A and B are shown apart, each in its own frame.
Chain A
Amino acid sequence: MTDLPEQGHFALFALPVRFRLDEAALAAAWRTLQAQFHPDRAAHLSAVEQRRALQWATRINEAYNVLRDPLARAAHVLELNGVPLDLERNAAMPPEFLMQQMQWREALEEARTDAGALDALAREVAAAAQAQQDALARACDDQQDYAAAAQWLRRLHFTERLRAEIGRVRTAQDC
């Protein structure tokens, strides 16, 4: 099994290293590779060849899952461009941004028993997440400003976490 090429997961699917993704091209390339390296197709081969096929199938799926997930894909693009995201090291976030997060969390607390308010909050946060993704795409793909892209990605992590939380509250309301 070869090492991860310099172009990372993108090279595997012959896709350019960028955040904006041609989803159809990824899916098509994945299906082609999947068919090629599927363990069933190696059933008649030697044990060594079979293991190799399995390793490739695993590798292909790992790469596919990273590229399909916008947050993981963005982190991967940044890493390939020498700007690892390093979320664990507590990156300072702008106070206004944190204040907004705090307000949304408070709004979510209040919306626990109010389906209408929850819908409104969900729409607002979804729009914010979309705006952050757009800004990330511009910084990353158009301006090659990876430090700025990392900052947008960190914001997006907060917003996606909040959206997941909203989803949990909504599920609880529906029960």
Chain B
Amino acid sequence: MAYSEKVLDHYENPRNVGSFDKSDEHVGTGMVGAPACGDVMKLQIKVNEAGVIEDACFKTYGCGSAIASSSLVTEWVKGKSIEEALAIKNSQIAEELALPPVKIHCSVLAEDAIRAAVDDYRKKQAGGEEQ
């Protein structure tokens, strides 16, 4: 299958590959997977006191489009507030990467990963206040 240039760029030079400490209270970890293709995606965000995403990283095992979608998302969420990050839609990811219809689910996965990471972060924050 022919990948777009942007997908290839992210695939060959993925941005922000790596891991943060999962137990860090400023880190939110989102794990998502697509049963249809067996792809697994981990997206982590590091949020500062002002509620801004300072840093982000990912690890994805999957096709080029899944890797590119998560790589792109780490770039996009950096410097954004949590709310702004949640506003990122899969359609924007798909459009930016010129994903074909059969690969749209990769962009959905990346959007879900943002939400999962934010949920995890918020859960940690709420838990921390209760203690």
Contacts and interface: CB of A to CB of B under 8 A. Distances in A.
Interface stretch (B7-15, B26-34, B67-75, B91-99): B26-34
B3 interface: no
Interface residues of A, number: 20
A105 B35 contact: no
A102 interface: yes
> What's the interface size class on B, roughly?
10 to 19
A157 B35 contact: yes
B61 A105 contact: yes
A105 B59 CA distance: 10
Contacts, number: 48
Contacts of A7: none
Interface stretch (B45-53, B77-85, B104-112): B104-112
Contacts of A105: 40, 61
A99 interface: yes
B31 A162 contact: no
Interface of B: 31-38, 40, 42, 59, 61, 105, 108-109, 112
Interface of A: 87-88, 90-93, 95, 97-99, 101-102, 105, 154-155, 157-158, 160-162
